[in-house]
Structure 1
């Protein structure tokens, strides 16, 4: 049997493919409206992670 490294193994079993989408959301933090850049990533197993960064309010959709 041939030994392989993790990089080779991940390709064989489907890789470590991660799909990410960036969106902007208007949020309330301490009673103040802030715009957040939300990065939502889904890995090959369906696990979802979200990261938030403060963004310019001009990027957020207008609520009306």
Structure 2
């Protein structure tokens, strides 16, 4: 069963938000930016980028259906 791009957009957005939460917790625990915090933020940024691409794809599919 194929899911819509919007579903995957929300999924990646949720995963990215979880990574941001963990990065904030790690930053508070170590009281500074360490390599693990930076890696968590980088993964979150990549996941947000993927989510926004899926949202754009969903919008494009909606526009194609209207035409």
TM range, smaller chain: under 0.3
TM-score w.r.t. structure 1 length?
A: 0.24
Question: Greater helix percent: which structure?
Answer: 2
Question: Greater strand percent: which structure?
Answer: 1
* Bigger Rg, structure 1 or 2: 1
Higher relative contact order (CA 8 A, sep 6+): 2
TM-score w.r.t. structure 2 length?
A: 0.23
